[in-house]
Amino acid sequence: MRVRTKYISFRVSNIEKKAITMAAHECGLGVSEFARRASLNMKVTLRFSPEELEVYNNLHTYHRNFTAIGNLVRSKHFNKNETILRELEEVLKLIKIHLGKFEQ
């Protein structure tokens, strides 16, 4: 860990202070670490809200289930239906796009 001995101070309004404090809290960081990362163009990501985490987990479950269905449709034991296969692949692609938005 780096030893941080230098001090930087800057003025903000009450509203700016509240916004910075809230953003840092949402990221799970202290105000200093949040400001340091933001000012150095380092990655600063918000944690998931409980609702967002539930959606993310559901998308993962759907992706896994649709992948299994797609594998079944491709198997030699299934009467192949190209329309079903194309629709499954489109759903998988859309889910993967939305999962990617959470992971950025």
Domain boundaries along the sequence of the chain: 1-47, 50-103
pLDDT band with cut points at 50, 70 and 90 for residue 99: confident
Q: Is 82 exposed, middle or buried (0-12, 13-18, 19+ CB in 10 A)?
A: exposed
Q: Would you state the pLDDT for residue 31? A: 92
Assess contact for 59 and 99: CB atoms under 8 A: yes
What tokens were used for 22? 């809230």
One-letter amino acid identity for 11?
R
- The answer to whether 89 and 70 have CB atoms below 8 angstroms apart is yes
Q: Does the structure show a pLDDT above 60 at 24?
A: yes
- pLDDT tens digits for range 40-71: 888 777 666 777 778 878 888 888 888 888 78
